[in-house]
Structures are given as structure tokens and as C-alpha cells.
Chain A
């Protein structure tokens, strides 16, 4: 598998580390235990197109949001995480 890193270009799978579903959002501090439980443990087992967190540890150390089809491994989009890169968001 090959991933096109927005900072480094097309690179081989071995440079990247997979984390998992990029959809769950970390709940606010006051969201309560149920919400955090859901965030930490409950995952959809997607057969099809999925948004995933990948880390380019063998390259620029950016976290990437990769849109991948879990059935075909086809990657349709790669975006940097909101805070990836050197610039402050909104600066």
C-alpha cells in the first residue's frame, strides 16, 4: 500500500503507523463518563469507505486523515490533521 503524504509525497506503507477511526471526537471535559466510554471503546466496524488516522512517523511526523476503502484498500483522499505542519491553526 502507498500513501500520498501531503507534505512528503507518495510513500510506502512502512513509513506510516495506523491508529484507527478518525471519526470519534474527544468529548469536552464535562461530557460525562458515558460519552468518554463511547469515545474510548465503541468503534464502528466499517466495511467500505472509512476515515482513518495515520501517522507519518517515518517521514514528517504529521498525523494524516486518510480516506480508505477497507474492502479494496483504495485510498481516495489524504488530508493533514488540523494541527499538522508548523503553522498555528488560524495564525
Chain B
């Protein structure tokens, strides 16, 4: 049975009493209504204690009614959806909601760690820095785990988030943050002018302060004006108004970030719907009507449950019909705080006293006090008696020195209002001080952004409406819309009349930053220890560094620092404001970019066929490539790969190599262009021929390699490695457009247009004859090694045939339009059946290239020169090319460089592993004698042992030398012999045959 809502008022509020909701907090069942937040529902049930503080484990209640809440943080939901540090003040109530208090053990009311309070003298600012400096091992093993246990915030779910998050773009003329009077007036003006408008409201209901405070606008009750205004905006086709959406950041070029909590108000998102949506909004103009945040006054015991911001108190009473207390005291330094008294009296609550720190109180309020039968005390609150059961007695120091005591079960506090300057300050704008309201107001806002109403430091209802309306009309005008905006809504302005009061000295802890447990004395200590600059103050005390980013604490902290240093608050200055304005889940930033949709997946043209064959795939960049094709009875990958290699070397096999980058280079200057980007010459390549090319970066290091064929006088077909396909295209476009614009050449990426297969092995011709038109001459004379030309296939389609070999065997690569790729794979299997054709994957491809001593990714490591790879002689001396001059620099041409060499273990049975370091034999391994490392290894079926390639100092001069391979990561040490990197068919007779 749900507990009775003991503190629910009999009538009023914007809750739906016809829709009761049950929820659980710390295992106990309560009830609330649709339209409640978790905080308002807890208040309606008389719950005051909702959490324990971060450092001292002090009992804490609900301080605010909005996203600035530092205290009432809970773990919301259970299981995989459990979300720590959720503000009870913004969590909407739903049927079955489950929440738990944080940072207490074993229970909220009896918390063992609250003994921390007894040690409070040592838990001062800089405590961790001072205490845990030594010894280092103790920090990792003992202090840090203990502190993490003791001072955690909530617990993460610990399992994957089951929900989906979305990302979307939106574009508009005028973006408005906030739907209070200023924001709605801005939307009206901009919308009527014809601008495309987006208005984001953080709350689940539009209206801002109108929902709590009411008022009269254009002679209508606020609620009536609100519903008429929302109806007018809803009828405008180019105006979009969004609830549950927080504008959290401002980025360059008028781009804004907003988080829409699409389904956070439900137990779980409906099927196929997202939990949250991240909006990137591009707006020509932005009106910040984000309002202002009421600020606390720092006094001893100001964190006692039942101490609440005055405006929050009237929000709970007015909007939620939930009484935080039955007998309320108010501590204020301004006129606005008194509105809480009016609201409370109107709701039939008792006022214990008003403690007003100002010298005078208006006659109207005096008469209110005498009518309400409560005293007005001139002075300040110096202490609160209460603890975990909440406020009981309030100690007051009266002006003139006398003391008084007030009995109350709730204390409303108003220290004035701080405009929400976050959004306007995110481009390093420094807000400026305004004396009349004793607060910082926006200055130096990002281009195109203005603040209006309370966000601009102008708090009256009338001026909020007027400023918002003017800002909306001006923004629409700047964006090119000049329709008739009509007249601004009209209302009276309330008095504010504030006398600054930041800190009341007294006995006991007086909190500035509630969430991080930073007290006034911590700030004074920081100053004494030399951390006077606000940026130092922040980091030394952690003031304002909690998840609430100091929304209720920063300005008070600055004021206290200003007081102890004898400077003014504007001289003390503010720290730099940074987005996000409210915490945003990483999941929302990631959107759908997680798990299998983390990035796009590219499939080779023969992918589906390969999958049918049972291929094992490997991720290569975005590609899925067939790694090997296991057959029944094979016990591991090595057995499959070895079979594939043997089949190629003795018969014929094929492999999809479509992932190579492919670029058409066209134009009269195509040859001249390639001469400048490759170290070797291509302008003299005969039509119908292919050539291996190597390109350098301008700093002389090898960039990429591949074969390029000349298909016509003005048409070259260039291939790149799989990994560098996109980057080489970008590089070549840079060369063409920026470095050599005088050349008449065009580049077209055709990587996705061609399906390309390598067909290799002594029976390659036999297989090809079954595929190509019988009139095509495939003989050694008719199609010699490194030949390249278009051929007709049986059936008529055209293919490109290249007689190139990566495996060292007699081999061709055949290209067909990508749409025929899968058919080609099937045809090769069919036509090759008599010859025992074997599909092979990237592993076998790699084995055969190592056997043949061909370089690949591990050797093209971004540190090697052409000479290091044994290709120094390819560098033409007759022409300029990218990287030529730098490749000749002393260190890049030094004789003791690490160069590619072959290795084989002296113990034939030993397995090699790449990454092992090469050390001279007989020496103790260390950085001083590290002579290189193993780059590529494989089991060579041809050599019947493990072989590898390595980069070794002066390696080519040391063929035959036995060196030591040292592998500290795997704990292996063994001897290897340096050898010729070409293990297989060193004369190349097989590929030319």
C-alpha cells in the first residue's frame, strides 16, 4: 500500500490528480501524480532526507526544483538501465519508477561513513594532494580504492545500455533557449515575422516561471496567456517548440547542441523508439532566454534537509501542490524572496518568521506580516538545528547583536538571482558584473546570440516579455524576415531591491558547493595557501567541478574569495565556462555509432559468396575480408591456410583483392603527373604494360605502393594499398589541384566500380582459358609478365587483365565491373573445378607475400625509406618527385639504418612472432643494443618452418649472421638467422613462366 501523501495540498497545482502513480524510493513504496517530478512526489510524501553528501556523508535534502540541483541525486531505474547521479528535481514520475539514494551504507538514515564528519578538520581543501603524496604504491593499492568506495557518487549499471540513441540535424533562422515569458515572447515575434523558429525547453512543460509564479499578462491570468500563446505558436508551420530538450552547447559557425530526452519520462522507450536524441542545430540567430538561478546564502547548517531555495519552495507549493514544510521561515536579502511567503500563505501554510538581511522592509510586506501573524527579524541566520530529520530550529543574529531563535520545519533561502550565463559564455565570453542586481550578466556572447529577460539580468515579468519580444523580432530581421510582429505582451514588473549578502559567519560547516562539500572555510584556506586565482581556487577546492558545474555555488565562492582578498567580485573574476550546460550521456553523443553500427561496413563484391563458403572474415579498416576458408576436418586456421598456400603453389587459387584502392588517371599530362608522385618513371611505360610504383611523403618516408597500368596513351589505372586508398586519393588530389595545377590531368576514384581477383598458381592459364574469349592470346608471348589490357570474356563482357603477381606464382589479376564480382567468383569455382581451384583468403595472401619477400603494411610503417625496403634503386635521378630532396638527407641515407631482411629461427621447430626485438648475439637486451624488430612472420608451407621479415640495422650486410630475438611481452628469447628476404623462387622464374 502506497504511503499517504501527507504533504500534498488539498487543491491547486499542475498535477493530474486523476492519474495516481506508484513509485519506490529506497525500497519503500509511495504514490504521486502524473505531472510530479520524483522530487515533488517525495516532498508530497513528507520525505526530506534523500541523499548523503560526497565527502562528509552529511544528510541532504532537496535544495532546488530544477537542473541546477546539487543535492538530490539518485540512482534512477534498475538493472541495465540504472542511471547514477540523476537529479530527482528533473526526473519525471512514472508508474513503477524505482530510485535509490546514493553514497550511503548500509542505509540512508544510518550511514557508517558519516563518521567522516568527525575527521572533518583533515578533509579540507587540498586534502588528497597533501595526504596521499607518499608512498606512490600506497596510493594505488590502498588510498585510491578506499576513497573511491567511500566517496563515490552513484553506481553505473555495469552492463551495456539496452536503449538506442539518435543524432539529428536541424536548421532554423532563430533558435530560442527557454520557454519562460522572454522565450515565448521571442518565439511569438520571430514566428510572426516569418522566421523558421526552434524553441527548446528543458522542462516537460512550457512556461518557465509562469508555471510556479503565475502573474498577469495582457490582462489575462498567466495560465490563460500561456495556453493562448502556445496555441498560436503551434499553429505556425515554421515554428517548432520542443519540451524535454536542453540546449547545452554553442559551437562555431552558429551550430548548437541540444539533448532531447525523448523517452526518459517512461519506464523504458516504446519499441523502435530512442531514449534520447542529440540535436545539432544550425541557426542564424539565437535568443538565450534561459532565465536565472536563485542563489543560496552561505551560513552554518545551510545544507540541513528542509533548507530550500525560496523560489523552489514556491514551485513545489504552486506548481506541484506539495508542501516542503508546514511551518516555513524565510531568509532573504531581496524583495523577490517574499513572494514565497505570499505563495505559502495563499496555500494555507504557516509562516514562522521572515529573516530579512536588508535594513528595510516595504510597508506592504510589513502589513502582510502583521496580517499573517509572523515576525520580521532584521538580521541573518547563523545556524540550523536539525540533522537528518530536517530543520527544527533556526538561530538568528539580529542587527544590533541580539540573538533569536525560530522554530520551523522548513527554511526558504533567497540570496538573489544569477542569470544563466553559461550559453553566452561558451566562446570564452566573460560575463560582466552588474551592481544593481549583484550578479554577472552576459557579455561577449558568440556571434548571432543575445540574451533576453532574466538571462540578461532583467528579472521583472514586464521587461522579460518586452526584451524577449524585441530580441525575437530583431533576430528574425537579421535572418531576413520582416513580417509584422505585432505588439509585445505587457505585464507589470515586480520589485527586486537586493542588498548583497553572501556569507554569514558562524559556528559549524557553511556550504558553498553542496555537491562537492566545499565550505566557506575551504575557500579561506585556499586563499591562505596561495590559491587565490579563481582557476586555482576551483581546482584546489574542487568548487564548481561537480556534475552541477557549480550552478548554485560559483558566484558565492567568488564572493567569499573576494572578501578575504579585499578585492571586488568583478576583480576576482569568473572561471572559464565550458559546455555542456547539463551532463550529457556518452551514449547520446555516440548515437547509433555503437556495436555493429559503430562504423559503416564495406563488403567485397564476392562477400556473400565467400560467406556461403564458410569463410572466416577479418576487419580491415571498414572492410570485411575473407581471411581463410576452413574445410571440414581442419583443426585450426593454420591447417586451412597451409592447405590454401599449397593449393596455389601447386595448382591454382583465387582471392578477392577488390579492396585495393583504384584510381583512373586521365589526361594528356597523366604520365608527367605520375612521374612527380612516384619515385620511379611512368611516362615511359608502354601502353598495355603495368609497373610497380612507390610513392614517398614530402619528408622522404615511403607513403604507399601499388601497381599502375597504362591502358591508353592518356589513361593510367593506379592501385593503392587497401589501408591508404582514401588517403592516397586525397594526396593525389592535393598534388593535382594545389601543387601542379598546370598539368592537364584528372583523377577518378574507381575503387567501388571494379571487382578485382587475383588468380595465381601454375594452372592459372588453364583456368583463365575457360573464362576469357578463345580469341584472346594468354601465352607468355601474347600476354607477357607485367602485361595489362582489356580482354573479352566468354559471353561478351569486357574485363581488364593484369599479369602481375604478389604471390610469386604465375598469376593474373582480373577486373570486372563490380556488379559481376559475385558471378566471377562463382564462375572461377565452376571453371576451375577440373584444376582443383582453391579460394584463398588474406592469410594465405600474406604467407605467400612473406615467402616472396614483398613488403606490406608492417614494413610501410611510416618510418621506412625506399632504401630501407631494398627499393632505393627505384628512385629516379632524372626527374623531380615528391620526397626526393628530403630522402637524400643525412639521417635518411645513413648506412646504419634498419633495413628489411629475412629471418628464420635456428631451431626449425620454433614459432616466430612479430614485434620481437633484434639484439646482437651474446649481449644483454636493452635499449642501447636494440638493432631492430620483427615486422612480419608466417609459417611457410614451402620452407616447412616459420619465417619472417625484420627491420635490422645494416641487415643486408649481415646475411647469415645469427642474432638474438628478444620478446619481453611474451617472455620469449631465441636465435634467428638473418637471410635473404626472398625465400621463394628468388630468380622469379615462376611468375615469368
Residues of A within 8 A of B (CB): 1-2, 12-13, 17, 19, 22, 26, 29, 32-33, 36-37, 39-41, 53, 55, 57, 61-63, 72-75, 80-84, 86, 88-89, 91
Q: How far is the CA of A62 from the CA of B888 in the complex (A)?
A: 32
Evaluate contact between A40 and B698: CB separation under 8 angstroms.
yes
Mark each residue of chain B from 863 to 893: 1 if its CB lies under 8 Å from any CB of chain A, else 0. Answer: 0000000000000000010000110110000
In the bound complex, residues from chain A placing their C-beta under 8 Å from that of B733 are: 55, 61, 63
Given A26-B739, A39-B698, A83-B736; 20 other pairs, CB 8 A cutoff: A1-B252, A1-B253, A2-B252, A2-B253, A2-B254, A2-B255, A12-B169, A19-B734, A26-B698, A32-B885, A40-B698, A41-B699, A57-B726, A61-B729, A74-B447, A75-B253, A81-B737, A82-B741, A83-B738, A89-B741
Mark each residue of chain B from 586 to 619: 1 if its CB lies under 8 Å from any CB of chain A, else 0. Answer: 0000000000000000000000000000000000
Other-chain residue from B427, B737, B880, B889 in contact with A63 (beta carbon distance below 8 A): B737
Q: How far is the CA of A40 from the CA of B742 in the complex (A)?
A: 21
Q: How far is the CA of A25 from the CA of B75 in the complex (A)?
A: 59
Q: How far is the CA of A43 from the CA of B813 in the complex (A)?
A: 44
Given contacts A2-B255, A82-B737, contact A37 B880 (CB under 8 A): no
In the bound complex, residues from chain B placing their C-beta under 8 Å from that of A57 are: 726, 730
Min CB–CB distance A11 → chain B (angstroms):
11
Evaluate contact between A83 and B737: CB separation under 8 angstroms.
yes
In the bound complex, residues from chain A placing their C-beta under 8 Å from that of B254 are: 2
Mark each residue of chain B from 468 to 497: 1 if its CB lies under 8 Å from any CB of chain A, else 0. Answer: 000000000000000000000000000000
B 711-752 contacts with A by CB, 8 A: 726, 729-730, 733-734, 736-744, 746
Q: How far is the CA of A71 from the CA of B793 in the complex (A)?
A: 60
Min CB–CB distance A86 → chain B (angstroms):
7
Evaluate contact between A36 and B737: CB separation under 8 angstroms.
no
Among residues of A, the one whose C-beta sits closest to the C-beta of B890 is: A33
Evaluate contact between A73 and B730: CB separation under 8 angstroms.
no
Cβ-based interface call for B132 (8 A): no
Q: How far is the CA of A41 from the CA of B427 in the complex (A)?
A: 32
Other-chain residue from B253, B738, B889 in contact with A82 (beta carbon distance below 8 A): B738
Among residues of B, the one whose C-beta sits closest to the C-beta of A4 is: B253
Evaluate contact between B253 and A73: CB separation under 8 angstroms.
yes
In the bound complex, residues from chain A placing their C-beta under 8 Å from that of B746 are: 86
Given contacts A37-B886, A57-B726, contact A81 B738 (CB under 8 A): yes
Cβ-based interface call for B918 (8 A): no
Task: Classify the interface of chain A: helix, strand, loop or mixed.
Answer: loop
Given contacts A33-B885, A73-B252, contact A40 B739 (CB under 8 A): no
Evaluate contact between A40 and B738: CB separation under 8 angstroms.
no
Min CB–CB distance B449 → chain A (angstroms):
14
Q: How far is the CA of A39 from the CA of B698 in the complex (A)?
A: 9
Evaluate contact between A55 and B253: CB separation under 8 angstroms.
no
Cβ-based interface call for B105 (8 A): no
In the bound complex, residues from chain A placing their C-beta under 8 Å from that of B253 are: 1-2, 13, 73, 75
B 883-906 contacts with A by CB, 8 A: 885-886, 888-889
Min CB–CB distance A32 → chain B (angstroms):
8
Min CB–CB distance A16 → chain B (angstroms):
11
B 663-716 contacts with A by CB, 8 A: 698-699
Q: How far is the CA of A86 from the CA of B745 in the complex (A)?
A: 9
Min CB–CB distance A45 → chain B (angstroms):
19
Evaluate contact between A63 and B698: CB separation under 8 angstroms.
no
Cβ-based interface call for B110 (8 A): no
Evaluate contact between B282 and A88: CB separation under 8 angstroms.
no
Cβ-based interface call for B127 (8 A): no
Evaluate contact between B880 and A2: CB separation under 8 angstroms.
no
Q: How far is the CA of A43 from the CA of B126 in the complex (A)?
A: 41
Evaluate contact between A40 and B737: CB separation under 8 angstroms.
no
Q: How far is the CA of A65 from the CA of B886 in the complex (A)?
A: 26
Among residues of B, the one whose C-beta sits closest to the C-beta of A53 is: B738
Cβ-based interface call for B251 (8 A): yes
Q: How far is the CA of A57 from the CA of B737 in the complex (A)?
A: 13
In the bound complex, residues from chain A placing their C-beta under 8 Å from that of B739 are: 26
Q: How far is the CA of A13 from the CA of B254 in the complex (A)?
A: 12
10 contacts between A and B (CB under 8 A): A2-B253, A29-B880, A33-B888, A36-B698, A37-B889, A63-B734, A73-B252, A81-B738, A83-B743, A88-B744
Evaluate contact between B886 and A84: CB separation under 8 angstroms.
no
Min CB–CB distance A38 → chain B (angstroms):
11
Min CB–CB distance B370 → chain A (angstroms):
58
Given contacts A2-B282, A86-B746, contact A36 B886 (CB under 8 A): yes
Evaluate contact between B889 and A83: CB separation under 8 angstroms.
no
B 243-259 contacts with A by CB, 8 A: 251-255
Evaluate contact between B886 and A1: CB separation under 8 angstroms.
no
Mark each residue of chain B from 735 to 774: 1 if its CB lies under 8 Å from any CB of chain A, else 0. Answer: 0111111111010000000000000000000000000000
Evaluate contact between B698 and A81: CB separation under 8 angstroms.
no
In the bound complex, residues from chain B placing their C-beta under 8 Å from that of A13 are: 252-253
Given contacts A62-B737, A83-B737, contact A40 B730 (CB under 8 A): no
Q: How far is the CA of A36 from the CA of B447 in the complex (A)?
A: 41
In the bound complex, residues from chain A placing their C-beta under 8 Å from that of B169 are: 12
In the bound complex, residues from chain A placing their C-beta under 8 Å from that of B888 are: 33
Min CB–CB distance B898 → chain A (angstroms):
22
Evaluate contact between B889 and A33: CB separation under 8 angstroms.
yes
Min CB–CB distance A31 → chain B (angstroms):
8
Top 9 A-B pairs, shortest CB-CB distance: A83-B741, A29-B880, A82-B741, A83-B737, A2-B253, A1-B252, A36-B885, A81-B737, A73-B252
Q: How far is the CA of A87 from the CA of B447 in the complex (A)?
A: 37
In the bound complex, residues from chain A placing their C-beta under 8 Å from that of B447 are: 74
Min CB–CB distance B610 → chain A (angstroms):
29
Given contacts A36-B885, A36-B886, contact A81 B251 (CB under 8 A): no
In the bound complex, residues from chain B placing their C-beta under 8 Å from that of A40 are: 698-699, 886
Evaluate contact between A81 and B741: CB separation under 8 angstroms.
yes
Evaluate contact between B282 and A55: CB separation under 8 angstroms.
no
Most chain B CB neighbours (cut-off 10 Å) among A12, A19, A63, A73? A63
In the bound complex, residues from chain A placing their C-beta under 8 Å from that of B738 are: 22, 53, 63, 81-83
Evaluate contact between A53 and B734: CB separation under 8 angstroms.
yes
Min CB–CB distance B757 → chain A (angstroms):
28
Given contacts A2-B254, A83-B740, contact A17 B886 (CB under 8 A): no
Q: How far is the CA of A33 from the CA of B742 in the complex (A)?
A: 24
Min CB–CB distance A88 → chain B (angstroms):
5
Q: How far is the CA of A91 from the CA of B20 in the complex (A)?
A: 78
In the bound complex, residues from chain B placing their C-beta under 8 Å from that of A75 are: 253
Min CB–CB distance B577 → chain A (angstroms):
17
In the bound complex, residues from chain A placing their C-beta under 8 Å from that of B282 are: 2, 12
Among residues of B, the one whose C-beta sits closest to the C-beta of A74 is: B447
Given contacts A2-B254, A36-B886, A73-B253, contact A55 B730 (CB under 8 A): yes
Min CB–CB distance A59 → chain B (angstroms):
12
Given contacts A2-B253, A36-B886, contact A17 B734 (CB under 8 A): no
In the bound complex, residues from chain B placing their C-beta under 8 Å from that of A61 are: 729, 733
In the bound complex, residues from chain B placing their C-beta under 8 Å from that of A88 are: 744
Q: How far is the CA of A62 from the CA of B741 in the complex (A)?
A: 12
Q: How far is the CA of A43 from the CA of B889 in the complex (A)?
A: 19
Most chain B CB neighbours (cut-off 10 Å) among A13, A22, A32, A40? A40
In the bound complex, residues from chain B placing their C-beta under 8 Å from that of A81 are: 737-738, 741
Q: How far is the CA of A60 from the CA of B744 in the complex (A)?
A: 19
Given contacts A26-B739, A33-B885, A91-B744, contact A55 B734 (CB under 8 A): yes
Q: How far is the CA of A68 from the CA of B568 in the complex (A)?
A: 38
In the bound complex, residues from chain B placing their C-beta under 8 Å from that of A36 are: 698, 885-886
Q: How far is the CA of A68 from the CA of B11 in the complex (A)?
A: 60
Min CB–CB distance A54 → chain B (angstroms):
11
Q: How far is the CA of A86 from the CA of B297 in the complex (A)?
A: 68
Q: How far is the CA of A1 from the CA of B280 in the complex (A)?
A: 11
Q: How far is the CA of A62 from the CA of B698 in the complex (A)?
A: 21
Most chain A CB neighbours (cut-off 10 Å) among B427, B726, B729, B885? B885
Other-chain residue from A17, A39, A84 in contact with B737 (beta carbon distance below 8 A): A84
In the bound complex, residues from chain B placing their C-beta under 8 Å from that of A86 are: 746
Among residues of A, the one whose C-beta sits closest to the C-beta of B742 is: A89
Mark each residue of chain B from 229 to 254: 1 if its CB lies under 8 Å from any CB of chain A, else 0. Answer: 00000000000000000000001111
